[in-house]
Amino acid sequence: MKHYLQFKDLSADDYAYLLARAALIKKKFKAYEKHHTLADRTLAMIFEKASTRTRVSFEAGMYQLGGSVVHLTTGDSQLGRAEPIEDSARVISRMTDLVMIRTFEQTKIEAFASCSRVPVINGLTNEFHPCQILADLFTLVEHRPAASGQPLDAIQGKVVAWVGDGNNMANTWLQAAELLGFTVHISTPRGYEVQASTACVSDTSCYKVFSNPLDACRGADLVTTDVWTSMGYEAENEARRAAFANWRVNTDMMAVAQPDALFMHCLPAHRGEEVTAEVIDGPQSVVWDEAENRMHVQKALMEYLLLGQQA
């Protein structure tokens, strides 16, 4: 049994399969073709933080695979009344086939997985957001495919510029870069840097640090950013607004990237904070495809975790 708690829980071969499978699943979805590979299976979704995309993409995706979902939050379950996470895992995993969790510390999802009888998927923790990076890579391959037609060839050797917080998204980009062979050019304000140890990458060779965000964007194939304040860090809002003022993706940054560079944002976005409206609503932005692709890649992922590779 495999869990998907971090990006590096799957191999490069797994990703080559998943990216190709997600393309097939998306094509069938667009053609209104049935794809009921998870008929009679149940997904439990546990949300300890807010969500729009993750909720809708997992819930709609599971129904489209022929399965069903159970939705739990901290407020409407015993999770909010201090039932140990391990006990919740033992119970929920006896009644369902798959569990998706969005929570705070990575240690919490690890504790759940250690007592779960069924695969567990990380729907975002303070440290990682692997489903989002999977969707982002799929979106990159879709918009900038390799001549070989191999998804991983479209990713290898690329430069991804990260502008902003050294957060769960940034950490996951680093894991993806190390595993799939590309480089992250990262610029964060002082005090908000990524740490190789927190990102769980073996060394710093998959990323380069730039003090000026414009330099991080120079020559990049993809420019990406995220909110200045992630969920769970709201008490730091004031300090972060001051610290991040120069880490706003704008047209000057896009102008020094490759001429065909894409802009991505996992959303929700705050126009005028981490990105200007001109960039996120501009011609290089692929944020709506990126959001939609969450559903297609997660359908491939759920199917893979329960059934393995399909011919």
Which positions lie near ligand NVA, rule CB under 6 A? 124, 167-169, 226-227, 230-231, 266
| Active site (annotated) includes residue 266 | yes
DSSP notation for 265-303 = E-S---BTTTB-HHHHTSTTB-HHHHHHHHHHHHHHHHH
| Active site (annotated) includes residue 294 | yes
Query: Minimum Å distance from CB 54 to ligand CP?
Result: 3
The strand pair at 98-102 and 42-47 is best described as: parallel
C-alpha to C-alpha distance for 290 and 266, rounded to whole angstroms: 7
C-alpha to C-alpha distance for 73 and 46, rounded to whole angstroms: 6
Query: Minimum Å distance from CB 269 to ligand CP?
Result: 10
Q: Which is nearer to ligand NVA, 93 or 229 (CB)?
A: 229
| Active site (annotated) includes residue 102 | yes
- Binding at 168: pick from ligand CP, ligand NVA, none (beta carbon under 5-8 Å per type): ligand NVA
Which residues bind to ligand CP, rule: CB under 6 A? Answer: 51-54, 124, 132, 266-267
Residue of 266, 284, 296, 298 marked catalytic: 266
| CA 169 and chain centroid, separation | 7
Q: Any idea which residue has 């039932």 for tokens?
A: 83
Query: Minimum Å distance from CB 271 to ligand NVA?
Result: 16
Query: Minimum Å distance from CB 93 to ligand NVA?
Result: 25
Query: Minimum Å distance from CB 102 to ligand CP?
Result: 7
Q: Which is nearer to ligand CP, 214 or 267 (CB)?
A: 267
- Binding at 248: pick from ligand NVA, ligand CP, none (beta carbon under 5-8 Å per type): none
| Active site (annotated) includes residue 248 | no
| Active site (annotated) includes residue 218 | no
Q: Which is nearer to ligand CP, 132 or 293 (CB)?
A: 132
Q: Give the helix, strand, coil percentages of the chain, each rounded to 5.
A: 45, 15, 40
Residue sitting closest to ligand CP (CB)? 54
Positive or negative torsion for Cα 196, 214, 275, 219: negative
Contact 252, 214 (CB under 8 A): yes
C-alpha to C-alpha distance for 274 and 269, rounded to whole angstroms: 8
The amino acid at residue 120 is V
Q: Which tokens hold the place of 305?
A: 């975790």
- Binding at 167: pick from ligand CP, ligand NVA, none (beta carbon under 5-8 Å per type): ligand NVA
Residue of 41, 226, 240, 284 marked catalytic: 226
The amino acid at residue 306 is L
Residues marked active site are found at 102, 129, 132, 226, 266, 294
